[in-house]
Amino acid sequence: MCAADVLMKPEECVMLLVDFQAGLGFAVESASRQVVLNNAVALARTAVAFKVPVIASTSASRVYSGPLLPPLQEVLPSIKAIERCTPDQLDTDSSGIPGGTGPAMKRTKLRVPLL
């Protein structure tokens, strides 16, 4: 297999930015919030440079989390974040599995697997 068969092509990729919002920054402990933001902005700039499509999601943006972080909005001015619903323990499917196909998951426009 030659190297050209292994490299990713922009038209076969997508970058997904999940919940880069000010209200969720408190949950970041693996690195400083500024480092995480700087890395996300650098990654977004790289995606723009290589013409990789970008999808961004937000959750509870009108309640407490806020919109997509302004530095990312500046780099990705044409991207409108998709507001996703966050399943909770009471949102179960018929099997009782949290986050299954309950009411919140039926309302969401973007399904993100829960790991």
The 10s digit of each residue's pLDDT in 68-86 is 999 999 999 999 998 887 5
Q: Which two tokens stand for residue 56?
A: 């961004």
Q: Specify the pLDDT at position 24.
A: 81
The strand pair at 54-59 and 82-84 is best described as parallel
| Domain presence at residue 2 | no
Contact criterion met (CB below 8 Å) for 65 and 58: yes
| Domain presence at residue 61 | yes
Q: What is the distance between the alpha carbons of residues 2 and 7, in angstroms, rounded to a whole number?
A: 9
| Domain presence at residue 113 | no
Whole domain around residue 35: which residue ranges? 14-107
- Residues of the chain scoring pLDDT < 50: 89, 95-96, 98-99, 103-115
Considering only CA atoms, which of 113, 108, 112, 45 is closest in space to residue 79?
45
The strand pair at 15-18 and 54-59 is best described as parallel
47: CATH: 3.40.50.850
